[in-house]
C-alpha cells in the first residue's frame, strides 16, 4: 500500500491511468454489475414487453397490431381479475398493517412473556414455500365435513361450507393464507422501527402522566409513519402481484367463475395457457400502470413527497 502511494505522483501524468484510478469513476465501476444486470434482466424485458403488447406473437409470425391488445382488455375476465386483485389488496392492507403493528408493540414490550418464542413462531410462516402453504390451505378449506375449517364450524353448530366455490368464502380463505404468511414479516419491519424510537420520549410521557393508549397514539404511531408507509407500499405491490396463493388454492386449475382469478393469474392464463403473448404483455403493462398509479396516490396522500419540515 505504501509503495502504491509513493508511486502515485510519477504515474499521475498518464491520462489513461488517471482515469482508471479516478475517484469519480470508481463508484460507477462498482455499481456497474448492478446496472448491467438491471439493464439485462429488468429494463430489456420491460421494454420488450411494452413492444410485445402492440404485437400479435405467434410461432414464426410476429405482426404489429396497434392498440388491438389493449382494446381486448375491455372484457369481463379482466374486470373480474381487476376486481379480485383490488379487493384482495384492500383487505390485506386493512389486515396486514394494524395487526402486525399491534403485535409488534406487544412483542416489544418488556412485560410480554416468551416474546422471543412468539417472535419466531409468528415469523416461521414467512419461511414456508407458498406452494406448500397453498396445498395445506387447500386441505384446510376442503368441502368435506372432515376438513379443518368445516370441523371448526361444526363446533358452533354451523354446517359445512364449500369454501372454494363462493366468491366471499374463497376471498376469506385467501386472506387467512395471506395473514398467516405475511404477518410475521410486517411484525419484523415494525419491531425494527420500534426499537429506533428513543426510550426517553416514553419516559418524558410517563412523567407527564400519559397512559399507555396516549403514548401509543401520540408517540408510537406518528414515529412509525415512515415504516408504515413503506409497509403500505410493499403491501399494495404484493396484493396486486398475488398469483401463487390463488393458483395453489385451486390446484393449478382455473377457479370456478373466476372467483380466484387475479391480474397476474390472467397474464399467466392468456400468455402461457392460451399462448397469447402479445395480449399477456398488454395486461402486464396495464398492471404496471395500475400499481404505479395506486402507489403514487398513496404516497401523495400520506405526504411522502412533501419536504420535511
Partner 1 sequence: MKKQGLVTLAAMMALSMGLSGCGGAGNNTKNATGSAPVKTDNAQAESTTNAGGSAKAEKLVFWTFVDAHQKFMESMADSWNQSHPDKQIELEGTTIPYDDMHTKLLIALQSGVGAPDLVDIEQSKFPNFMKGTPQLVSLNDILEPELGNIVKSRVEIYSKDSTYYGIDYHVGATVMYYNKELMDQAGLNADDIKTWTDFETAGKTMLEKTGKPMITFEGNGNWSWWPAISQQGSDQVDKDGNATVDTPVNVQTMQFFQKLVKEGVAAVAPGAGHDTEEYFGYMDSESAASVFMPFWFMGRFTDHMPDLKGKMIIRPMPAWTEGGNRSAGMGGTATSITNQAKNPELLKEFLSYAKLSKEGNIQIWKQLGFDPIRTDVWNDPAMKESNKYTDYFGTDIFDTLLSVKDEIAPVNIREISPKVFDAIRNEAIPMIFIDMADPAVVLKKVQDSLK
CB of 58 to partner 1, least distance (A): 3
Q: Which stretch binds partner 1 (CB under 8 A): 84-92, 102-110, 191-199, 246-254?
A: 246-254
Written as one string, the DSSP assignment of 63-128 is EE-TTHHHHHT-SHHHHHHHHHHHHHHHHHHHHHTHHHHHHHHHHHSTT-TTHHHHHHHHHHHHHS
Distance of CA 161 to the CA centre of its chain: 30
Whichever of 115 and 167 has its CB closer to partner 1, that residue is: 167
* Contact call for residue 277 and partner 1 (CB under 8 A): yes
Whichever of 170 and 179 has its CB closer to partner 1, that residue is: 170
Q: Which stretch binds partner 1 (CB under 8 A): 14-22, 117-125, 177-185, 193-201?
A: 14-22
* Contact call for residue 37 and partner 1 (CB under 8 A): yes
CB of 21 to partner 1, least distance (A): 7
CA dihedral 77, 80, 83, 88 (to 10 degrees): -110
* Contact call for residue 14 and partner 1 (CB under 8 A): yes
CB of 241 to partner 1, least distance (A): 18
Residue 249, Cβ neighbours under 10 Å: how many?
22
Residue 112 CB contacts under 8 Å (≥ 6 apart), including other chains? 106, 118
Contact (Cβ atoms closer than 8 angstroms) between residue 250 and residue 164 = yes
Distance of CA 110 to the CA centre of its chain: 31
CA proximity to 247, closest of 263, 228, 230, 231: 263
- Answer for which of 9, 252, 306, 309 binds partner 1 (CB under 8 A) is 252
Q: Which stretch binds partner 1 (CB under 8 A): 186-194, 196-204, 233-241, 254-262?
A: 254-262
Instruction: State the sign of the Cα–Cα–Cα–Cα dihedral 32, 233, 283, 126.
Output: positive
Per-residue string for binding with partner 1, 74-103, x by CB under 8 A? --x---------------------------
CB of 239 to partner 1, least distance (A): 23
* Contact call for residue 272 and partner 1 (CB under 8 A): yes
Whichever of 150 and 186 has its CB closer to partner 1, that residue is: 150
* Contact call for residue 67 and partner 1 (CB under 8 A): no
Whichever of 118 and 268 has its CB closer to partner 1, that residue is: 268
Give the Cα-Cα-Cα angle 266, 271, 274 (nearest 5 degrees). Answer: 95
* Contact call for residue 139 and partner 1 (CB under 8 A): yes
* Contact call for residue 11 and partner 1 (CB under 8 A): yes
* Contact call for residue 258 and partner 1 (CB under 8 A): yes
How far apart are alpha carbons 34 and 52 in whole angstroms? 25
CA dihedral 97, 98, 104, 109 (to 10 degrees): 160
Residue 250, Cβ neighbours under 10 Å: how many?
18
* Contact call for residue 168 and partner 1 (CB under 8 A): no
Backbone angles phi, psi at 246, to 5 degrees: -75, -35
Q: Which stretch binds partner 1 (CB under 8 A): 57-65, 117-125, 218-226, 296-304?
A: 57-65
End-to-end CA distance of the chain: 46
What is the binding site for partner 1 (CB under 8 A)? 3-4, 7, 11, 14, 17, 20-21, 29, 32-34, 36-37, 40-41, 57-61, 76, 139, 142-144, 162, 165, 251-258, 269, 272-275, 277
Amino acid at each position: 500500500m505504501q509503495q502504491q502511494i509513493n508511486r502515485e505522483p510519477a504515474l499521475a501524468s498518464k491520462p489513461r491511468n488517471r482515469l482508471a484510478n479516478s475517484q469519480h469513476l470508481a463508484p460507477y465501476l462498482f455499481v456497474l454489475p448492478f446496472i448491467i444486470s438491471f439493464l439485462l434482466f429488468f429494463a430489456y424485458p420491460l421494454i420488450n414487453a411494452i413492444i410485445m403488447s402492440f404485437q400479435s406473437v405467434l410461432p414464426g409470425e410476429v405482426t404489429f397490431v396497434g392498440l388491438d391488445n389493449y382494446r381486448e382488455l375491455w372484457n369481463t375476465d379482466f374486470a373480474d381479475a381487476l376486481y379480485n386483485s383490488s379487493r384482495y389488496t384492500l383487505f390485506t392492507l386493512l389486515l396486514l398493517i394494524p395487526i402486525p403493528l399491534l403485535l409488534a408493540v406487544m412483542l416489544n414490550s418488556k412485560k410480554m412473556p416468551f416474546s422471543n418464542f412468539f417472535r419466531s413462531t409468528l415469523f416461521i410462516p414467512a419461511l414456508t414455500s407458498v406452494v406448500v402453504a397453498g396445498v395445506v390451505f387447500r386441505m384446510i378449506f376442503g368441502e368435506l365435513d372432515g376438513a379443518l375449517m368445516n370441523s371448526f364450524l361444526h363446533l358452533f353448530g354451523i354446517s359445512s361450507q364449500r369454501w372454494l366455490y363462493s366468491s366471499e368464502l374463497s376471498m376469506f380463505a385467501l386472506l387467512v393464507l395471506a395473514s398467516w404468511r405475511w404477518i410475521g414479516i410486517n411484525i419484523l419491519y415494525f419491531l425494527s422501527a420500534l426499537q429506533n424510537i428513543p426510550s426517553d420520549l416514553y419516559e418524558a410521557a410517563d412523567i407527564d402522566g400519559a397512559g399507555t393508549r396516549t403514548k401509543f397514539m401520540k408517540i408510537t404511531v406518528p414515529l412509525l409513519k415512515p415504516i408504515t408507509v413503506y409497509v403500505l407500499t410493499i403491501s399494495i405491490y404484493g396484493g396486486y402481484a398475488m398469483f401463487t396463493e390463488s393458483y395453489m388454492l385451486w390446484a393449478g386449475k382455473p377457479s370456478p367463475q373466476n372467483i380466484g382469478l387475479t391480474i397476474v393469474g390472467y397474464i399467466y392464463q392468456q400468455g402461457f395457457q392460451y399462448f397469447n403473448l402479445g395480449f399477456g404483455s398488454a395486461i402486464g403493462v396495464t398492471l404496471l400502470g395500475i400499481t404505479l398509479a395506486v402507489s403514487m396516490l398513496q404516497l401523495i396522500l400520506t405526504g411522502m413527497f412533501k419536504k420535511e419540515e
